[in-house]
Amino acid sequence: MAEIRGWIIDRLIQIEYRIDYIILEFFRPKHEKVFKEIVLNSSIVDFGGKAKILRNIGVSKSTIAKIRRIVSIRNGFSHASFSEHLSVTIKEDEDGNDEDVDIKSWDVITVMNSEGVIKSRSVYDYLSEFHVLNDEIRLELDVFLKSIEASTK
């Protein structure tokens, strides 16, 4: 299970790096390194804050909703207890992107949603949703970044 949690955390860190880069490209601060180390530090501006920045610089509501959802799923895997009945095989391409993911699960995960309601869900379904959102968010953020880069040329 530690492997799954590590994979999920790694994927969310990669998304956060993309978000940080978009914010840097949009604002182009004079002191980029300091801006990144201080202002974009996740202990100062968390994912929710960064999502608000993205929304205000033009990222779509649907992408923001996906970011919020993927963070919620990450939190579910980080804090929920469930047994060791899960197998995930991940093949990556040369750029580190997931090329093929095979998920097998025999258990459920119990998490509390944002309204405080406790729900049980198949680990497979939860992890599959995370994987789909991960791919969609990366693509949508990359497209937005290209539009920023094109507008600054």
Q: What is the pLDDT of residues 97-152, one digit of tens each?
A: 777 776 665 577 777 766 788 888 888 888 899 999 999 999 999 999 999 999 87
Q: Is residue 137 part of a domain?
A: yes
Nearest Cα residue to 53 out of 72, 40, 43, 71: 40
Q: CA 131, CA 101: separation in Å to the nearest integer? A: 8
Q: Is residue 147 part of a domain?
A: yes
Tokens 């959802």 map to which residue?
A: 69
What percent of the chain has a predicted confidence (pLDDT) above 90?
56
Q: Is residue 44 part of a domain?
A: yes
Total structural domains within the chain: 1
Q: Is residue 97 part of a domain?
A: no
Q: Is residue 27 part of a domain?
A: yes
pTM as predicted: 0.80
Q: Which of 95-127 are b and which e, b meaning 16 or more Cβ less than 10 Å from the residue's Cβ?
A: eeeeeebebebeebbebeeeeeeeeebebbebb
Q: Is residue 122 part of a domain?
A: no
**65: which 2 tokens?**
């909703």
Cβ–Cβ < 8 Å for 108, 120: yes
Please, is 138 exposed, middle or buried when counting C-beta atoms within 10 Å of its C-beta (0-12, 13-18, 19+)?
Answer: middle
Q: Is residue 8 part of a domain?
A: yes
**pLDDT for 122:** 80
State which residues form the domain around 38: 2-81+127-151
Beta strands in 37-130 (DSSP E): 86-92, 98-105, 108-112, 118-122
Tokens 């004079």 map to which residue?
A: 30
Q: CA 48, CA 55: separation in Å to the nearest integer? A: 11
